[in-house]
Amino acid sequence: MESRNPWWMDDPELVGVGQRALEELERGFDEDKPHKGGDADPFVAEFYSGEAGRALSAARDDLAAALQRYEDAVFAARTAGFSWTEIGRLLGVSRQQVHRKFGRAES
């Protein structure tokens, strides 16, 4: 007849992990030595700090501002008489790409 215990209760690896954890708890931590728990879990650190979320929001805002500056610079250059070729060269893209993106808005 089979044992009615769940599989994990008799698993030798899990039993060993449990015994080691219990030994550590019974031994306690030496108060004079810092605990070497390794690096903090990034998920938990983010949960408490919110740093990654704030960084993403700031990056989104920076990108929106940069895209607006890019557009404003293109329109200012066109107003100043720059050709699509000159604008494309200065931006490091083809004149067709700049014209395709901003040509209709200029009309």
Q: What is the separation of C-alpha 64 from the centre of its chain, rounded to a whole number of angstroms?
A: 18
> 35 pLDDT band (50/70/90 cuts)?
low
Binning the chain into helix, strand and coil, the percentages to the nearest 5 are 70, 0, 30
Per the prediction, the chain carries an average pLDDT of 86
| Token pair in block for residue 31 | 């108060």
Tell me: the pLDDT tens digits for 9-18? 888 898 898 8
Query: Does an H or E element contain 48, and which?
Result: helix 42-49
* pTM of the model as a whole: 0.55
